Amino acid sequence: MIATSHQRRENRNFYLWISPWIFGFLVFQVGPMLFSLYLSFMHWSPFGSSQWVGFGQYIRMLHDPLFWKSLKVTGYFTVLNVPLSMIAGLAVALLLQREVRGLRFFRTIYFLPRALTGVGVAYLWVYIFSPNFGLLDHLLSYVGVHGPAWLYSRTWVIPAFVLMDIWSAGGGMVIWLGALQDVPKTLYEAASLDGATSWSQFWRITLPMISPVLLFNLVMGVIHSFEVFSNVYVMTAGGPGTSSLFYVLYLFKEAFPGFHFGYASALAWTLFLIILAFTLLIFRTSRTWVYYETEVEGRR
C-alpha cells in the first residue's frame, strides 16, 4: 500500500517529535549500559592503565566472600519483605474498599509514605529505631516488651528494614485497590446465595480475579528488594559489620570509594541476570496460578 503525502508528513512529524526522547534514551541509557558491559570485561581505573581481563571480573566474584554475603543479605530481605509487603498492601486495600466516611482521607494517608522518600525519611526511621530514645522501643515498653537494638543488632537489622518497607506499602495498596474494584459484584452475590463464607469468597473469587495484579506486585516486589540502596546507605552503611551489606550497596562501594569500576560493572550485570532469572521463573510458574478472564472467554 502506497503512503499518501499526508501520511508521510504525519510519519515525519511523529519521528521529529519523539527524536529528543530517542536521543536521550540512546545517549543516557543504552550508551551507559553498553559501556558498563564493556567495563565488566576490563580492569579499568580512571587514575591508571586499563587492561582487558575477559571473564576475570566474573570469576573473581566466585571467590569474593563479600559478594556472597551481599547476596545472602539481599535474599534474606527479599524472602521476608516481598510476602509481608504484599499481604500488608492487600489487607489495607481490603479495608479501604469498604464504604466508610472519610475514605478518601484514609486512602491519602496510607499512600503518603510512598511519596515521602529520600534521606529525610531514612533519618526519621533512625530516630524511630534508636535503642535509647526511639519511638518504637518506647511504644513496646507500654506492653512490657524490651525492644532490641534494631539497627545496631546483627539479628534485627534486616527485620528493621522490612518493617520500614512495610510502612510504605501504600503504593502497592493503590494497585490492589484498583484490582479489587474490578471484581464483579455479581460473583459475591451469587456466592452469598450459595452460602459461601467470607473467607471462601476471598479464596475462591477475590484471589483468582486479582491474580494478574498479584503477579505484577510479586515481580515488582522482587525487583525492588534487590535494588535497596539509599535507606541502607544512610542508616547503617552496611553495618553492624556486614549484617546489612545489601547487593547494590556493595556494588556502590566497589565503584566509588574503591574505584573498581570494572568489578562494579560486572556486579551490576550479574544483578541484571539474577533479576531476569527470577522474573522469568515467576512468569513461567504463573501459568498455574494466574487467572486471565480473556483466556477463558477465548476457549469458549
**Could you give phi then psi for residue 285, rounded to 5 degrees?**
-80, -15
Q: Are residues 140 and 38 in the same domain?
A: no
- What parts of the chain have a pLDDT lower than 50? 297-300
Residue 294: predicted pLDDT: 62
Residue 2: predicted pLDDT: 56
Q: Are residues 197 and 237 in the same domain?
A: yes
Cα three-residue angle 148-151-246, rounded to 5 degrees = 135
Q: Are residues 45 and 111 in the same domain?
A: no
SS3 label, residue 98: coil
pLDDT digits (tens, 9 = 90+) for 188-225: 999 998 888 989 999 999 999 999 999 999 999 999 99
Q: Are residues 140 and 47 in the same domain?
A: no
Task: Check the CA dihedral 268-263-246-231 and report its sign.
Answer: negative
Calpha distance 292→175 (Å, rounded) = 17
Task: Read off the CATH number of the domain in which 177 is found.
Answer: 1.10.3720.10
> Domain of 256?
60-299
Task: Kindly report whether the global pTM for this prediction surpasses the value 0.85.
Answer: yes
Domains in the chain, number:
2
Q: Are residues 146 and 22 in the same domain?
A: no
Beta-bridge partners for 43: 51
Q: Are residues 15 and 158 in the same domain?
A: no
Tell me how far the alpha carbon of residue 10 is from its chain's centroid.
39
Residue 297: predicted pLDDT: 47
